[in-house]
Structure 1
Amino acid sequence: MLLVAVNAFVGGTLGQERTVLPLLADKVFHLDLYTSALTYIVAFGLAKAGTNYFAGILSDRHGRRPVLIAGWLIAIPVPLLLIFAPSWGWIVAANVVLGISQGLTWSTTVMMKMDLVGPERRGLAMGFNEAAGYLGVAGAALATGFIAATSGLRPGPFLLGAAFIAVGLGLSVLFVRETHHYAKVEAATHVPVHANAGSALSNRQVFTLTSFRDRSLSSVSQAGLVNNLNDGLAWGLFPILFAAAGLSIERVGILAAVYPAVWGAGQLITGALSDRIGRKWLIVGGMLVQAVALGLVGVGHGFDTWLAAAVMLGAGTAMVYPTLLAAIGDVAHPEWRARSVGIYRLWRDGGFAIGALLSGLLADAFGIPSAILVVAALTAASGAVVAVRMRGTDYVDAHPAPGHPG
């Protein structure tokens, strides 16, 4: 539960940007092209994706706790950069730093919970972890929207982010303990779900297995990438779309918060549900629900329609997000699970950069609604890939209860 609390502050550190930065790009820095305005998401996604990979390697080599603390220390200058940025380049630089910090802190909270709970409650643990993080994102997005409406886009919203960093760092230094030894204990009795998931693998072997060779791991990796591709779109373009339609900053903040709030809270249910019914079809269903929700945003108009779409998008993402992480944990051997999680998160968070770049180019060429509809189609196609290619990976399938068909 301590790690759940820590990850809520990790999410809050990210959430300080969700409402405010798209509006800063438009109203303060007067960026004309959507592609230029979304450069901060590209920078964040690339930095976080690369750091996720190294977080897995470093946490296996040096332990989880030092990597967590390092991530918080790196986050300290981010609010200052956002508050005092004289040009858009400073905002982009701040997001490179934030991406590095998020890659270290969020990755290690995932690994530490997997270490602690063992295989039977892996989905539940991922549900708690991701729920805390994205409720933190939602709460910060809502709070910063109201702060911005009453006191301006700067500095007020980012002072809240500074407080999140201070509390998260303090909890991690004073109270969080190392968990790597739990993974070593689990490794001694681990039964691989698939025959090619043995323990003695090099970094290159783990990368190719997670990314391409294993049907389940690679299916999960592409679904994670597409999921964050559509989140990059939502983060960067939704506030601009809503503001251009005449919605107030408060209403834009509500819509920016509802999506991650439903996403966050829903994971308290879907994570545990995946332990009971399996991972695959929850992932497929979630991707298709997201696709429908994105289509509704693209063709819809008005606050009420967009609110319903935001709820649906959050629900679909909740079905997918903790389930993908749990599926990685099901297949990956405990000896290289942290590395596999890091590689999956590399692909997943690379989706931020791809989504921001793709949606920005499409929005510049054809408008925001068309960009949203293209991403909706990609999301549906990703769900179809999982349906066709992914095997049953979950602990329930591998270790059926007496009388369970397996």
Structure 2
Amino acid sequence: MNTDNIHLGLKENWKQFTILVIVNAFVGGMIGMERTIIPQFAEMEFGIASKTAILSFITAFGITKAVANYYTGRLANRFGRKNLLLVGWLLAMPIPFMLIFAGSWNWVIFANVLLGLSQGLTWSSTVVMKIDLVGEKDRGLAMGLNEFAGYFSVGVVAFLTGYVANKYGITPYPFYIGIFISVVGFVLTALWVKDTRAFVHKESATDTTGQLKNVFVETTFKNKTLSSVTQAGLINNLNDGMIWGLLPIILVSLNYNNENIGIITAIYPTVWGIGQLFTGKMSDHYSKKAMLFWGMLLQGLAILLIPFSDKFYMLASLSAILGLGTALVYPTFLSTIAQATSPKQRAESIGTFRLWRDLGYAFGAVISGITADLFGIEYAILLIGVLTIGSSLVIKFRMPEKISTKEEIT
């Protein structure tokens, strides 16, 4: 393959990079559509009161997104990043219609199976494509911009759906936003996104990173850097799954209206999104280990304080602190894995990390749902907070300070 005309870097590829940032904003918007209203949708439309049953939609989403992440990583080199991205958008298109016309809770579960598959294909593809384009120097910045676009969009759409639901009702109007997002996302991808496999060949020609013998095993268990990042990713999304499912329920129990619920639930992903504009670049220059430790610790402390708060400004502040903690770790996860793996294995290693990270949604929904049903929501939140602080300690005591590219590869 002739790679003479290909140049790695953010400046060199800013047009294609910008398109991918915009596409990922639409990807994030599809999650934002559900972020504020689905738990109430479950109770109002289907009379479901069990926390475990309500959170079943997040379990379905987490498992299918995790599997799709893994296979996107494995199949990206074979079928092309753009093709997988287009398939992801096609899967997204029926979701809003399924939610609007859902005759039973099983339709909502099935819609979230599709959402998980779609998110795995679309978000993983845009992550890998941006890393392909920018090369080594700007990986953290690239991931910060990618995750900013996605999660800022989650926050904006979460607020919009809360506002629309408050004004016009839980269904169908909030879901019209999803129809718009999926159609525009597909058109943008089809017309303007270009595949990036050639950039991998270009980087591979000069890269000296040692290759992993078994990408899945090393990323999950053996490699101290990769496995430390992977467990933190799982716990991060475990607590995110709990917040997604239980925070709106808590706010309803405190008699907040849909608009205020939308504001509090939107602050977290919005701060998470905007914060990554800064934390992504920071991860190129500062200790990745320190950023991961402090980010997970901040998340854990914020979560532990939620059961002891009922005032709007206190809950809004905790939502912001949680967003800041998540902003510190999210782009750092991906830039750390990109640094610790060779270009040829990077997509698969990121796919493995994202498999475990998004299984965290399912684990978080199941653990917090069962705990909430048995002992109460407060105990579910406290348990998740303790697990998050435990994860920060794994980073502190297991992850090496220096990210190795050869010595640690076994």
2:289 matches 1:256:
no
> How many angstroms does 1:327 deviate by?
0.6
Q: Aligned to 2:227, what secondary structure does the other structure show?
A: helix
Q: Which amino acid aligns with 1:390?
A: M
Match of 1:104 in 2: 121
Query: What per-residue deviation string (whole Å, max 9, x for no partner) do you get for residues 180-223 of structure 1?
Result: 1111111111122xxxx327x5xxx1100111110000000000
Structure-1 separation of matches of 2:259 and 2:243: 17
Size of the alignment, in residue pairs?
A: 389
Match of 1:242 in 2: 251
Query: What per-residue deviation string (whole Å, max 9, x for no partner) do you get for residues 87-132 of structure 1?
Result: 1110000000000000000000000000000111110000000000
2:169 matches 1:152:
yes
| 8 Å CA contact retained: 1:52, 1:107 | yes
Q: Which amino acid aligns with 1:332?
A: T
Match of 2:312 in 1: 303
TM-score by length of 2: 0.93
Long gaps (5+) in structure 2: 1-17
Q: Which amino acid aligns with 1:198?
A: Q
Structure-1 separation of matches of 2:27 and 2:300: 27
Match of 1:285 in 2: 294
Structure-1 separation of matches of 2:307 and 2:121: 34
Within the candidate set 156, 162, 171, 2:179 is matched to: 162
Structure-2 separation of matches of 1:232 and 1:9: 20
> How many angstroms does 1:393 deviate by?
5.0
Q: Aligned to 1:247, what secondary structure does the other structure show?
A: coil
Q: Aligned to 1:16, what secondary structure does the other structure show?
A: helix
Match of 2:93 in 1: 76
Structure-2 separation of matches of 1:393 and 1:37: 43
Q: Aligned to 2:278, what secondary structure does the other structure show?
A: helix
Percent identical: 47
Within the candidate set 14, 29, 32, 2:49 is matched to: 32
Match of 1:338 in 2: 347
Structure-2 separation of matches of 1:392 and 1:162: 45
Long gaps (5+) in structure 1: 400-406
| 8 Å CA contact retained: 1:81, 1:94 | yes
Match of 1:375 in 2: 384
Match of 1:403 in 2: none
Output aligned runs, 1:143-222, within 5 Å: 143-192=160-209, 197-198=210-211, 201=213, 205-222=214-231
Structure-2 separation of matches of 1:20 and 1:365: 24
Q: Aligned to 1:190, what secondary structure does the other structure show?
A: coil
Structure-2 separation of matches of 1:231 and 1:298: 16
> How many angstroms does 1:398 deviate by?
7.1
**Stretch moving more, 86-95 or 57-66:** 57-66
Match of 2:145 in 1: 128
Match of 1:52 in 2: 69
Structure 1 runs of 4+ aligned residues shifted over 2 Å read none
| 8 Å CA contact retained: 1:331, 1:393 | no
TM-score by length of 1: 0.94
**Stretch moving more, 296-305 or 358-367:** 296-305
Q: Aligned to 1:282, what secondary structure does the other structure show?
A: helix
Query: What is the aligned-residue RMSD (CA, Å)?
Result: 1.2
Structure-2 separation of matches of 1:278 and 1:186: 24
Query: What per-residue deviation string (whole Å, max 9, x for no partner) do you get for residues 330-366 of structure 1?
Result: 1111001000000000000000000000000111111
| 8 Å CA contact retained: 2:341, 2:405 | no
Quickly say closer, same or farther: Cα 1:163–1:393, change in 2 above 3 A.
farther
Match of 1:89 in 2: 106
